[in-house]
């Protein structure tokens, strides 16, 4: 049922890899689920806390930044960036990091018993070095949708990865090689393990 609720909010899959990583929690009644859903949203928006929330299950660090690449201590919002520090060499285009931009964030109440919260991010340029191109090991067509749904007393947390293709079109030769290696060495599979730790942390009581 969570898939049905989320489907209209997830980009269509048309190229490359797709992943769906999910976790579910059954609450004792709907009132408890509604309160728990709000707490899960707060956890999801606290991007700087993702590694801690995941109990060390994330091998990458995530840091929220503003339009100038400066750290943001608050919650995630549309237009902000997430600076990602993954193990190994980073991108020259991203000044040592991979970057995504939060392009949409919505809380939709479908009816009295169903609601959805989602946040979607997409590979982007470095906030202040845009001429260097996409600063991420995946192409800009890729997206990560972080989705929470409530269906009655059932809460589901899912990360939908769509259109995941290694970014080897970058003009920087070093980045081209790095992205090809990262993209072909199971990085997408590693991301799935990381996202499993995140969705589990989001629904931890």
**CATH 3.30.530 at 2-7+19-202, yes or no:** yes
Which residues lie across from 62 on neighbouring strands? Answer: 84
Q: Quick check: 56 pLDDT over 80? A: no
Give the SS3 label for residue 186: coil
Q: What is the pLDDT of residues 174-201, one digit of tens each?
A: 666 665 666 655 556 567 778 899 999 9
Provide DSSP, 117-139: EEEEEEE-EETTEEEEEE-SSB-
What's the confidence (pLDDT) of residue 89?
67
Of 94, 158, 162, give the one whose Cα is nearest residue 122.
162
Helix (H, G, I), strand (E, B) or coil at 168: coil
Q: Is residue 110 pLDDT above 70, yes or no?
A: yes
pLDDT at 132 over 80: no
Provide the whole-model pTM. Answer: 0.91
Which pLDDT band holds residue 41 (cuts at 50, 70, 90)? very high
Domain boundaries, the chain: 2-7+19-202
Helix (H) or strand (E) holding 50: helix 50-53
* Region 130-148 average pLDDT: 88
What is the pLDDT, as a whole number, of residue 172? 66
Q: What is the mean pLDDT of residues 62-72?
A: 95
Query: For tokens 């090689």, what's the residue?
Result: 177
pLDDT of residue 141: 94
Beta strands at 114-123 and 143-151: parallel, antiparallel or unpaired: antiparallel
Mean pLDDT of 141-157: 96
């Amino acid at each position: 049922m969570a898939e049905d609720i989320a489907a209209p909010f997830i980009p269509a899959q048309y190229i490359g890899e797709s992943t769906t990583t999910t976790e579910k929690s059954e609450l004792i009644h709907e009132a408890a689920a509604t309160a728990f859903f709000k707490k899960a949203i707060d956890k999801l928006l606290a991007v700087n806390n993702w590694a801690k929330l995941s109990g060390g299950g994330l091998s990458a660090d995530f840091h929220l930044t503003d339009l100038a690449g400066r750290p943001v201590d608050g919650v995630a919002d549309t237009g902000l960036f997430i600076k990602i520090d993954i193990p190994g060499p980073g991108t020259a285009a991203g000044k040592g990091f991979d970057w995504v931009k939060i392009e949409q964030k919505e809380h939709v109440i479908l009816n009295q018993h169903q609601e959805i919260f989602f946040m979607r991010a997409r590979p982007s340029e470095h906030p202040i070095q845009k001429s260097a191109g996409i600063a991420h090991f995946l192409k800009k067509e890729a997206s990560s949708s972080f989705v929470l749904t409530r269906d009655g007393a059932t809460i589901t947390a899912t990360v939908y990865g769509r259109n995941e293709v290694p970014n080897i079109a970058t003009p920087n030769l070093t980045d081209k090689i790095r992205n090809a290696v990262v993209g072909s060495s199971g990085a997408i599979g590693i991301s799935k393990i990381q996202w499993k730790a995140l969705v589990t942390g989001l629904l931890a009581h």
